[in-house]
Structure 1
């Protein structure tokens, strides 16, 4: 089938490459000519494992190409995926829908004369509940023969290609049998491989994404709240999380105590979800999400305070090494990165801070020019008084604590992700602290 993907950021670039990989002809559209030029050359504008090779293969076969023209998109495809961003409004916390509205409003006039075939516009962007209904009215006013559906994405950065080609479920909110049938046909290779297909109305499809992210955020925030209790009682949060996770009703995934979540999805989505519920007069139903958000944000300050105590009570004249800048491993995304928020707070409290990350140094340097950066872990840790482990890259779990102890000034470590082996580090002479694990001290 001939598909267009409007918006070639993280979601759009991955979706376009994967749809081409399963056999469709795809045109990616974006208003940024530099991004289009990079993608045309097979170069994704961000780091995502496996995407570069897939993108290059799709471009080389001719199944994927890129353009800046919505008019060309309308001529090319009969199904148009909207994959533009919905950033958080800095004042209200609500989702900013300008890019989604601009994509629909910009495409619709070119679809006006496609009366001879059923054109489908499908949203993948994360939006407040009720957005699809509102946009459908705008689309039909300009293009009466066009249909609109919502098909939320459930991508994890670092696993986005896998999550697109082998998703745990495909959710489609459609107003017509034709729209659902079209999307079933598009995703047929995935459905044939056993992926569940959940057909519903647009409002439920919108809520599935928001509710899923809110639930995941709640699990992370809950175990971090328990870490605070453990700090005050002498209990061990990792043992607590393991014991809780053995209960099949609870499960162990996302019960990972530490620095908390960041990135472009969970924080933004739970805040926008809360704002939308309040707009609908249903704020009391999700009031707990504001508390979850506060718990998550508080983890950053708790980590700074833990590091400051380990540094002797003050960061003045102290060198601090930070391991990690991306908000999660296997990504170069620094949006709402807990690691960089901690690093910058430590700097503002008086320390000299040097940051290492396997992939995100360039992005971090552009966003935080006051921080220092190193491309080598050893260089980052030279003469450090405290080392902060803030992003759980596998490379950091493979470090040799004894070798690293020879380059720091003081072998003191805060494992804010609770993923390093405390026995190995303590055996090498390190003083170790971790949230929710007071007995390490």
Structure 2
């Protein structure tokens, strides 16, 4: 008999996972405690922007004309427990207020509300990013609470979604990692992921601690690579070098590779910053804090980039205060192809300049509504052209394709001063200079 799947938590990770499981042919039931979210999903709408996700959802949600009907949603944990053979926990693990550690309350609550209704054999699979050691604790709690006792097993299956590519990353993952304690759990997960495995996705079987460490290790490595090239950009600024050419030369070494070597204002979002901080906090609890002290510097380099962008803007405007200066900011989200503004470097820079008296106008293709909620006092424009109108300086802070395709000559005709600072090293300097702009980018004082 075909496995039935539940997905607990229907935020960014859960909604994507639920839709993808339906696409792979499973009957899926999504569970959440937020009525508004459930109502949206039942209409085939997603509460966030993610390319391709809404189309995938509409293809499978029950009640939508022409849909497969394989995907439904509920707010009742008893219904989910009764329905599912495999239960994926996909809830958020944010940073605790006032400290580095991870807040596990959502995971604990999800597991406990489900466990007490599990009266038959089932596999509960954690996908949330958690501190190493959590799975051991949760497995014991699951056995303790479930009426079916040790017939209910736990496995850990970390997610590796990139915002903007989440659908592709779920349906065609570059690896599937499972932390299991039995051959049965491994067999069930091989059945769940049979299609991507058949397509060639590597299937890595490991223990609980290793599976929990994979995600935080991967994010720590990527954060290190980004902060490394940003540290080199600081040296280039001081020495008169060109960080873009430096990165190009480094990238030809296949031990290093080209990816994640674009210097700029650094990383943000809901994953990298909080994951490396939670990793440091957990290493401290385990008595291995010295192993990760380098991540404190990685975090520091990253946060410093935002202030350096503010100072670059101040220097470009003559070195005085921002008071009365009109600043256009292109980009509000932490990365392109997303509407996520959590810990966004672009919005942070815009906010800092605004707090120092600048008249800041922001434009972003998808992040405007979320940006307004966080920074209602900033100015917002409906187009890049409108944002740049009357500006003394333009800051390019999120590398949307739309911004790379702008007509510099057209923008120059509406700016007060054709002066652009490329905080992502993503624009073509020659094209902008040819249109009369003064172009300046981080880590490229002479370029």
Give the TM-score range, shorter chain. over 0.9
Aligned to 1:195: 201
1:305 and 2:311 correspond:
yes
1:401 and 2:403 correspond:
no
Aligned to 1:321: 328
Quote the Cα distance in structure 1 between the aligned partners of 2:97 and 2:290: 23
Quote the Cα distance in structure 1 between the aligned partners of 2:323 and 2:163: 36
Of residues 137, 141, 155 in structure 2, which corresponds to 1:138?
141
Aligned to 1:362: 369
Quote the Cα distance in structure 1 between the aligned partners of 2:155 and 2:382: 45
Aligned to 2:392: 385
The two structures have a TM-score, normalised by structure 1, of 0.98
Partner secondary structure for residue 408 of structure 1: coil
Which stretches in structure 1 are left out of the alignment for 5+ residues?
A: none
Aligned to 1:62: 69
Aligned to 2:172: 166
Return the offset for 1:92: 1.4
1:331 and 2:338 correspond:
yes
After TM superposition, which residue ranges in structure 1, 4 or more long, deviate above 4 angstroms? none
Partner secondary structure for residue 438 of structure 1: coil
* 1:321-371, Cα deviation, whole Å (9 max, x unpaired): 000001000000000000000000010111000000000101101111011
Quote the Cα distance in structure 1 between the aligned partners of 2:20 and 2:262: 30
Aligned to 1:152: 158
The aligned runs of 1:103-114 (5 Å cut-off) are 103-111=110-118, 113-114=119-120
Return the offset for 1:235: 0.6
Quote the Cα distance in structure 2 between the aligned partners of 1:32 and 1:372: 31
Of residues 103, 107, 112 in structure 2, which corresponds to 1:100?
107
Quote the Cα distance in structure 2 between the aligned partners of 1:315 and 1:411: 17
The two structures have a TM-score, normalised by structure 2, of 0.97
Partner secondary structure for residue 58 of structure 1: coil
Partner secondary structure for residue 128 of structure 2: coil
1:129 and 2:154 correspond:
no
* 1:187-238, Cα deviation, whole Å (9 max, x unpaired): 0011011110000001100000010000000000000000000000001000
* 1:387-407, Cα deviation, whole Å (9 max, x unpaired): 000000000001111110010
Return the offset for 1:90: 2.1
1:375 and 2:382 correspond:
yes
* 1:368-425, Cα deviation, whole Å (9 max, x unpaired): 1011111111111110001000000000001111110010101111100000011111
1:91 and 2:98 correspond:
yes
Partner secondary structure for residue 439 of structure 1: coil
Aligned to 1:52: 54
Of residues 245, 250, 261 in structure 2, which corresponds to 1:255?
261
* 1:112-134, Cα deviation, whole Å (9 max, x unpaired): x21xxx31000000000000000
Quote the Cα distance in structure 1 between the aligned partners of 2:278 and 2:419: 39
RMSD: 0.6
